[in-house]
Each structure stands twice: as C-alpha cells, then as structure tokens.
Amino acid sequence: MSAINFNIEKKSTGARGARASTLTTPHGVIHTPAFAPVGTKGSVKGILPEQLKALGAEVVLANTYHLYLQPGEKIVKEAGGLGKFMGWVGPPSPNGSGEAKPTITDSGGFQVFSLGAGFGKKVSKFSPDEVEGETAEKEDQIAVYDEDVASQHGQLAIIDDEGVSFTSHLDGSLHRFTPERSVEIQHALGADIFFAFDECTAPTESYDYQKEAMERTHRWAERSLKAHRQMEYTRLRQGSGVAKQAIFGIAQGGQFDDLRRISARTIAEMGFDGFGLGGSFSKKYGDDSLQSALAMLKELPETMPVHGLGIGEPGDILASIAAGVDIFDCVAPTRLGRHGSIYTKHGLIHLKNDKYRSDFTPLTKCQDFVNPSSDDGFTKSITSGFTMAYVSHLVRSGEMLGAVICSLHNLCFILNLVAGAREAILDGRFDKYRADFVRDYYST
RNA sequence: GCGUCGGUGGCGGAGUGGUCAAUCGCAACAGGCUGUAAACCUGUCGGACAUAGUCCUACGAAGGUUCGAAUCCUUCCCGACGCA
C-alpha cells in the first residue's frame, strides 16, 4: 500500500513522453510536472514558506545528511516532521498551526559524491570485510584516506560496500551512513517522499567504476526498501494507521546507456513507489550524460512517477519533462540568485555586470515569457517596484535583500516555467512551448 | 620656525640596494554555479602589442651615489604628531 497516489491526467501519445499528473501525498496534492525548491537544511535560503506558497510551490526538498548533522533527526521528529518543523504548512486551523505541506528528503547519497567520493580513484575505497566493525575501527579507516586529497579539497567520505563513512563538515566528527540508517533518519524526518540511499557518481568515471557504483546502488536500494518496509510494518502493527511515506529508488549508470537501462529496469522491478533519476549533470562534465540518463526512462512503466534529482537548468528541465520526468528539485534558482544571477527570457544574466548599474528596466520584465495567467502573481506584484539597477546595487553592495529578490525572481521563473509546461501539456502544445522557450533562452 | 614619523598602483597597506611592474586585502572587470561544506569559487587587474613574451612608463618632485635605487644621500613639495 503506497503512501502516494499517482494519477496521469494527460500524456503524449506513443512512447513515454511529457505528461501532466496529480500526485497525491499524505500532506497534499502535487500537480506535475512540478518543481521542488531545495531547502537543504530545512530552509529554502532566504525565502519564507509563505512566499514559496505564493510563488506556487507545492513541495520542498530537504536533505537527510544536513538535517541529521544539524539539528538531528530527533528534533525534527519531535517537531512533528519536516513540514511542521520548517513552517511549511497550510492555512492555520482555529486551534493551532496549519497542516504540513508536502515534502521530500534526499537520502544523503549525493553527499557521498560531493563530500569526496565523487573524486573517485583519488579516494581510497574499502572492501566490505575491512569495515564490518563498529566505531572503534573508524580511526584506522580514515588513516587510509588520501591525505593530499583530503587537505586539498577538504573531503572526507569513504565508500565501502556496506555504507559510507564520513566526517562532519561542521565539526570533523566521524559518522556513518548505511542504507538502513538513511531510511531510519528519513523516517524520523517524515517527508512524504524520500529516497533510497545511493551512490552518485560523476559522468567522468570509467565504465568499470560506474558499473561497480551502480551495482552497489542497486544493493543499497534493495536494503533501503527492505528497511523501509520493516519499519513501516512495525509502525502499522502498532496501530499507526496508514502508510505515511513513499520511497523512491534511484537509478544510476552515469554516461553509459547500457548501464542506465539496466539500472532503470533493476530499480523499477524492485517495487518502489517511484523512481529517482540519479546522477550529476553539471555542465562541466559535458552535454551527453543527461540525454543518456533520460533515455533510460523508456524502461519504466508509465505509471511510475519520476523525480529528476538535481535537474534545474531550464533547457534540461524541459528536455526532462519531454522524456517523462514529473518532479524536479534544484538549488540553482536560489544559489544563482544569491550570487546575483537571474533568469530572463533570453538567458541567464549577471546583475553584477557593469551594464546593469543604470538599467532601470523593471525586474519583472524578465518574467514576461510564460504563464500569462500569473501576471498578477505574487512575485510580479512584490517585485514590481524594483529595477535592474536597484537590484544590481543591492547585489553589489552585499545587501541580503538583493539575494532574496533574485532568489524569489528565479524561483518564480522556474516554477512558472514548469507550471507553464504543465498547462501546455494539458493543452496538447508542449512541444511548441518547449521549442519557443529554448529558441529565446538560448539564442545568441 | 624646530623636531619626529610618513608620502608605493582606484583605496588600504607590504616591501627598505639587485630575484620588483612591485606580497596581500578591498574595490573594479569578467566568468562559473544543475539531488547546496556555495551570501561561494575562479580569472584579470600600470600601458602597448598581447600565447609565451617583448618593449615602454612607474613607488611625492628634482638632482646625486652605484654596474644596479621603491629601497642610500641632498634639496624641495605635501601630510600627521610634538615643541615653540
């Protein structure tokens, strides 16, 4: 019995393609395609929950690794779950705060990549039998770590078949994630949708390593699912009612089509509630890996909801929607915004550039491209008094309001882009919608 | 007027005979950012050709010592402080 219900309202004919759906979660409905703003530590940086709602966001994504380290999953559980904890709630009821809105947690698998293991061969890896022991052995494990790499990049995450050992970036203390532990933490965090623990790889890894990591991810997926079912079973037996959380399995395979396909099939057959398209699609790795990753979706049953992890570049989002991805999350809107870059119909611009010092064009001009029905929307009205010159000034002078305005703007842009895609799908004109956008955004 | 300490690239501030077109920070200019160790990181930053590099002009001004001076000497200008 799944905690979510996925209902496809409209889909392209033929092979798997763009579709519009409603995803009903224990905390509310998500209309897909949907974009989930990222609130890694339980906060979409600089943005109030009320503002997120006004922008049209229906779900936010937080991170297991970060919340585990700080404040600790127990606190979040005690608060009543992630949504309640972070104030991501609906209208208040007469006798208290409102009901929590939909949330997703990432498993911490990405941190295995970003905290060091992504640097692959430079990082020592352990065979399973070396790490069977408990905490006492961990000191020794770290000693094998490549000191040069560690000091150069500050990375400290070591993969073995059983799980991942890592040192906290906050205080250097030693920790360990296994699939079971990740699930346990994510149960405590209580998001509507959470992910199986995986190993994210860079597309620059060799075939052999991609295969090894993929197979490990599959074993971890199985263990994650099993752990989830056991915990859920126990909870249900204690009379806690219905299933509260859905678990998505993550497929990997890097840039290799055959691995991607194998991974998709393997994950799909395990019985997850949904599918996570894993990987890292940063531009620095080249352009092919996303295409290769999207191709694997053909292996999935149409009825399976798909989450594109970390896919957030506008063109990539539309390409992914075309391939049947339903939900997205990405740090780009907020990170770019904090750094002073904003999306416009004609591409990304850097407000710090000299030419915007005296550009008195209203900021809202950048949002005129999609979803005309949102013309009276929140961001439009809240940012209507701001000019590029003013925001440029704020960003230059380090005023936090600059970061906030740019983040709002970018979230508005991406949420509108995705909402516009949904409308277009429902109207049967998605291909044109995508083509028009891409033409304008990537011209010049 | 006397004395002391200072005047270095947009700013702050190192350097006190050669390895100095001059450490570093800020500013400026540009680039990057895709499941957030990211309100961050990288590059450029006297001028001209410009890849390396080469050549100019430069450390208040003018002279001087020296093979060689941002660095030593003389005078002048300017600033801060102290004494009259």
Q: Is A148 a catalytic residue?
A: no
- How big is the CA angle at A281 (ends A249 and A418), to the nearest 5 degrees? 75
Q: Is the CB atom of residue A42 positioned under 7 angstroms from any atom of strand B? A: no
Which nucleotides of chain B have an atom under 7 angstroms from any protein CB? 27-41
Q: Name the one residue in this structure whose structure tokens are 């409102």.
A: A98
The SS3 assignment for A19 reads: strand
Q: Is the CB atom of residue A349 positioned under 7 angstroms from any atom of strand B? A: no
**How many Å apart are CA A119 and CA A107, to the nearest integer?**
20
Residues 370-409 of A with CB under 7 A from strand B: 396, 398, 400, 403
**How many Å apart are CA A161 and CA A145, to the nearest integer?**
16
Q: Which residue in A106, A160, A273, A316 is the catalytic one? A: A106
Q: Is the CB atom of residue A171 positioned under 7 angstroms from any atom of strand B? A: no
Q: Is the CB atom of residue A115 positioned under 7 angstroms from any atom of strand B? A: yes
End-to-end CA distance of chain A: 51
**How many Å apart are CA A32 and CA A418, to the nearest integer?**
8
Q: Is A171 a catalytic residue?
A: no
Q: Which residue in A192, A273, A316, A329 is the catalytic one? A: A329
Q: Is the CB atom of residue A145 positioned under 7 angstroms from any atom of strand B? A: no
Query: What domains can be seen in chain A, in order of their start residue?
Result: 5-113+168-330 (3.20.20.105), 336-441 (no CATH)
Q: Is the peptide bond before A94 cis (omega within 30 degrees of 0)?
A: no
Q: Tokens in use for A36?
A: 């989930």
Q: Is the CB atom of residue A205 positioned under 7 angstroms from any atom of strand B? A: no
Predicted ipTM of the assembly: 0.87
CA of A416 to C1' of B82 (A): 70
Residues 206-245 of A with CB under 7 A from strand B: none
CA of A208 to C1' of B62 (A): 74
The SS3 assignment for A274 reads: strand
CA of A392 to C1' of B18 (A): 47
Sign of the C-alpha dihedral, residues A145, A151, A152, A153?
positive
Q: Tokens in use for A193?
A: 């949708």
Question: Which pTM does this prediction carry?
Answer: 0.89
Tens of pLDDT along chain A (444 residues)? 799 999 999 998 767 899 999 999 999 999 999 999 999 999 999 999 999 998 999 999 999 999 999 999 999 999 999 999 999 999 888 777 789 999 999 999 998 788 864 433 333 333 333 333 333 333 223 323 333 334 434 456 888 899 998 888 888 888 999 999 999 999 999 999 999 999 999 998 999 999 999 999 999 999 999 999 999 998 888 876 788 999 999 999 999 999 999 999 999 999 999 999 999 998 888 767 899 999 999 999 999 999 999 999 999 999 999 999 999 999 999 999 999 999 998 999 999 999 999 999 988 765 555 444 444 345 556 777 899 999 999 999 999 999 999 999 999 999 999 999 999 999 999 999 999 999 999 986
Q: Is the CB atom of residue A106 positioned under 7 angstroms from any atom of strand B? A: yes
How many residues appear in chain A? 444
Q: Is the CB atom of residue A347 positioned under 7 angstroms from any atom of strand B? A: no
